[in-house]
Structure 1
């Protein structure tokens, strides 16, 4: 995974409000939510919500699709899994190395 893209994904989630939006989208699953539904579920003012959605979109952790007059927003589950895999990829590596050296 490209380190710059990875950093951008983590940076996009770097506020309580954006994490709240992302959690709402994750809870909604693959169908996603309209912007109005996100606003209702999170209580974030529309102008502020637009700002946060822009950051999440730029970080690649959400995707948006126009459907008629509505915009459907979804969590980008592939990107989120990639971020989780990246951050956990070296989990406990030092413990394994230490155990191998102790033998």
Structure 2
């Protein structure tokens, strides 16, 4: 994952409402949820929820599958793991470097 892709992902979860929607989808697992199910679990109004879902989809953090009139939404677990790995990839690097320089 490059810095631009990571920035888009982090921007997508840059609001409390979107973070709530994403966590709701993570809890649902691979089965995902319909828009109506997300709305009932989050109490976000339909038009606002549609906006947040578009933002999360554009950021690559959720996947949508259309089946007739229903849209199933799922967390993009691979992308979420890559985003977490991106931010943690340099964890404690300066501490290790500092210890080597002092040794």
- TM-score category, normalised to shorter length: over 0.9
User: Which residues of 2 match residues 18-97 of structure 1 at below 5 A?
Assistant: 18-97=18-97
The residue number in structure 2 matching 1:102 is 102
What are the Cα deviations for residues 1-54 of structure 1, in whole angstroms up to 9, with x where unaligned? 122111100000000000000000000000000000000000000000000001
The 2-side partners of 1:70 and 1:45 are apart by 17
Q: Secondary structure at the match of 2:44?
A: coil
Using the TM superposition, give the Cα deviation of residue 68 of structure 1 relative to its aligned residue in structure 2, in angstroms: 2.8
Unaligned runs of 5+ in 2: none
The 2-side partners of 1:56 and 1:66 are apart by 16
RMSD over aligned Cα atoms:
0.7
The 1-side partners of 2:89 and 2:58 are apart by 24
Large movers: runs of 4+ above 4 Å:
none
Unaligned runs of 5+ in 1: none
TM-score by length of 2: 0.97
Q: Which 10-residue stretch deviates more, 66-75 or 39-48?
A: 66-75
Using the TM superposition, give the Cα deviation of residue 102 of structure 1 relative to its aligned residue in structure 2, in angstroms: 1.3
What are the Cα deviations for residues 44-88 of structure 1, in whole angstroms up to 9, with x where unaligned? 000000000010000000000012321000000000000000000
